[in-house]
Amino acid sequence: MTAPIPVTLIGGYLGAGKTTLVNSLLRNADGRRLAVLVNEFGALPIDADLIVARDDNLISISGGCICCSFGSDLVAALIDITARGQRIDHLLIETSGVALPGSIVQSIGLLPGLIIDGVIVLADAETVEERCHDRYMSDTVRGQLAGADIIVLNKIDLVPPERVAASARWLAEIVPAARVLPARNADIPCEIILGRQPEPRPIAYRIAPARHRTAGYEALDLEIEGPVDAEKLASVLADPRLGLLRAKGFLRQAGGGFVTLHVVGRRAVVEAAPSWIDGPGRLVCIGLATEMNRSAVMAAVGGDFHPPRCSAECQPKA
């Protein structure tokens, strides 16, 4: 069985930092073969030191990744890139600065062999509120934010900390379905965008730093014995009270087979697992260290699928 290729949309208004994020992901792909589609008509905005070769509008990138532009015909580019026969582990689509994610998500949903993994929208901490109230730009910017699973509040080094906090609260109010993630120079762990393959652990669970260069994140790795109601667990892990940015796991069902669980923000998907999955169930959950509610995650995995109310013991780690 061939698993569908996960697709992540990277959107946001002009100058928010989309290309910076894409180049960072290419630098830190950690062995993944990435394909990147960019809505550019001119030179593809990939850092020169990453480029191995050029062929018309296709760029070969170190590590086995590729990038090409799609102009106005995204569907044709998707069909072309998936028909090349090259192994692709994850597909990234960098949209134009005025594109709305919803229409692209609908287009991808019509194509076999692809599945939406998440929608990441970058917002400029200096200008996002102003643009959301501008008579000309507000509809576009608000429409982009409304389609996000995760909003990266970028360029926080350019504004005072109190303004960052106020903007994060404001974004959480106007887009309650999205997680808000502050960042400098679009520097966030690639695991948040691409996920991390969960592997079996020799012990019941362990808490460890996620594998990236940016402080402030943690990964909770769990090994799960016995069958799990994956649909129900996915719904609970997407609950904002747990404070997760992403979760991925291979879980055994009551009938003995495995399914794959994906959670990005509040987007939760359960699908058939690759045929080679065996052994115990396993799950990796990633979040900000100060916000991830470990006790609620553990309770959910253990079968208590109702996150506790916010009492002293369920508050995120200080």
Calpha distance 46→26 (Å, rounded): 9
Is it the case that residue 205 has pLDDT exceeding 60? no
Which carries the bigger pLDDT value, residue 214 or residue 190?
Answer: 190
Q: Would you list the DSSP string of 15-28?
A: TSSHHHHHHHHHHT
**Sequence spans of domains, the chain:** 5-190, 197-308
Whole-number pLDDT of residue 204:
40
Q: Give the mean model confidence (pLDDT) for residues 283-312.
A: 74
Q: Which CATH code for domain 5-190?
A: 3.40.50.300
Q: Using pLDDT thresholds of 50, 70 and 90, give the confidence band for residue 211.
A: very low
Contact 122/186 with Cβ under 8 angstroms?
A: yes
Whole-number pLDDT of residue 202:
38
Q: Assess if CATH 3.30.1220.10 describes domain 197-308.
A: yes
Which carries the bigger pLDDT value, residue 210 or residue 53?
Answer: 53
Q: Give the mean model confidence (pLDDT) for residues 104-121.
A: 90
Is it the case that residue 287 has pLDDT exceeding 50? yes
Whole-number pLDDT of residue 305:
46
Is it the case that residue 146 has pLDDT exceeding 60? yes
Whole-number pLDDT of residue 313:
35
- pLDDT tens digits, 79-94: 888 888 788 999 999 9
Pairing of strands 5-12, 65-69: unpaired
Whole-number pLDDT of residue 72:
74
H-state helical runs in 175-202: 190-194
- pLDDT tens digits, 228-270: 899 999 999 998 889 899 999 999 988 888 999 999 988 898 9
Least confident of 1-15, 141-155, 158-172, 213-227: 213-227
Is it the case that residue 41 has pLDDT exceeding 80? no
- pLDDT tens digits, 131-144: 999 999 999 999 99
Q: Give the mean model confidence (pLDDT) for residues 111-117.
A: 89
Q: Using pLDDT thresholds of 50, 70 and 90, give the confidence band for residue 213.
A: very low
Neighbours of 254 (CB within 10 A): 9
Is it the case that residue 302 has pLDDT exceeding 60? yes
Tokens found for residue 34: 């990435």
Whole-number pLDDT of residue 225:
83
Least confident of 67-76, 201-210, 262-271, 276-285: 201-210
